[in-house]
Structure 1
């Protein structure tokens, strides 16, 4: 089984390799190709990957290359974890929206739109190369903004599934609070990528007993603190929102916080420099503890479970490691009526049964207007954002920003459009 990782020079990659090593029975990888144009990073990461697999006694061969076509040739699955523009572009995404009083963040708001505009054309080019090399290969997208990128891939007919680690992270946290194995915890996880709520936490499967009310009663303060949201909000919602909903529910407070500290990208860039220095040590053959602070917790378990299911290893390859338990996995998939108030071609993040035939969304609990209103608004924004990414034009960028619930005002959308274009012209062929 050959897997290719596009963006293989990422400091995330050892987390992924650690999963391949630990979960070899679920996903018997024989060849791992790391592809990245950054040759210096790639060699450091590739060297550590080889040492990690050797330490685990894993037989997979690891190769590194800057040749994308060679990397994806004959690959059974291709994992996308690229960042167009690197941390420098991310730092800009987190900075210029603040000049207009808006959240500066790389996956939502104006910064998220900028990332989508840079990313979608590159990902679609990669996907076409994958299709030419092996039409049967699966594309697993971990590249943000996952919802928009996955929608672009699916609209072009690619065999693609989007993946995020929010659900699996919450599953693990709830399991620890409940003192049970993660595979026993099923989440009623509903929404869009980075715009989701846990409407239920069930023990023993999708129809198991909902223990969310008790979790909130006993551990509401700890859960709220972890999400950096007010505890009364969780009780009033009767649900656990994803961390990213703090940008909507506490927007002004978050903007004030962001203005008082350096951009997250600067912190991550410094962390990456430290990690790469560690990776260069020929004696290092395990993922360093510092990597846990980089983000992407449980990425490897979710990625291995999804790849295993898509490639014939079963629907719950690692005991519900996709983040739901009960043999289901939370993925980003075409809506097709799952949320009846959205268009069929919208991409939703919900539990799904995954097999070599693809990801089939499972039924989800009914949503009330508190959820449907925001989901509908952000879906409309994502539609306009994808249109801008595919066809370009200042007016399309403006329309996407005007539609976004975190913008929504004419003068503000105009200012943000000007700044977005000024900071991203080198990545936009039409600008």
Structure 2
């Protein structure tokens, strides 16, 4: 967005305002305090594992090249997509059948920009050697922020406001904004990549190396990263049940990411525009909140009081307030009546920021029936499958199924 653009929505005006501030400051301004890319975690990592591979892909003259960002002097080589797929997927590192196997988180593929990312997906889709790499990358690309398939320009745009008049889709403009030469050296690429991993739950400001061990991730971010690691492995399944599972996992990860962004100490600024985050204070009674700004809350649902200068923690998530009633007082002020057991959260009369309690289920499946008729001694049977209830009902027949002759 440039100064010549005349935005009309509050979000576009917000974006333009902060990008102008970044231009006046002479450098990008943080949009999020947290990392804009999560570490690729998994629930039971191999203790001998030294860290994920970071593979940087580039293109030149219609060819795809790959470089290892963890070596001191990366050297681009023509991409062997079979080898790229092997390093991308997590590996079982324990053969003992009596114990649950350990896994590595798999590799991280980094593309400098959107055209290169799309080029990689097209090449993988046409390659017989890449297996299901293309479908995995498309699934990762469907997420709001993938920990396994990183488009660097987009990750930077999630983390920072770029100064006005510079192009968010240009990696060279990001280099210029951070005072680097407009050259795609590996030193510049590593520096930019480090920036998107910094923040609470990620790298510290003094870290100068890509993450090689899981940081102290939060109770919301870690399950999202774990789910994605499993999603990448499950993306190789082509069954209907597998695709339903993939859809549910993508939805769960998206819900978690949206909550992380909206509750982030800096991300709340944008969420306040439409009431996803709203400010309220105690009303005439300890169980009444007064709200004078847009808000998103529903009767019978829970809201969470946000801490002032830090991300939401496990205690914040458990200390919810139940909305009993929403009403408008005679003076036009909106009042939210909360459950009396939650009143201690807003004691003191100071303004407090709130957000709707997130819906963040993890897909586990549930017993149900898969309504697929099959022959069994002249009768039709409905074999039991692990299928979510919603899918079970959606697939149920509306008329009796005739038995096969």
TM over 0.5: no
Bigger RCO of structures 1 and 2 (CA < 8 A, at least 6 apart): 1
Structure with the higher helix share, 1 or 2 = 1
> Highest Rg: 1 or 2?
2
Scaled by the length of structure 2, the TM-score of the pair is 0.27
Scaled by the length of structure 1, the TM-score of the pair is 0.25
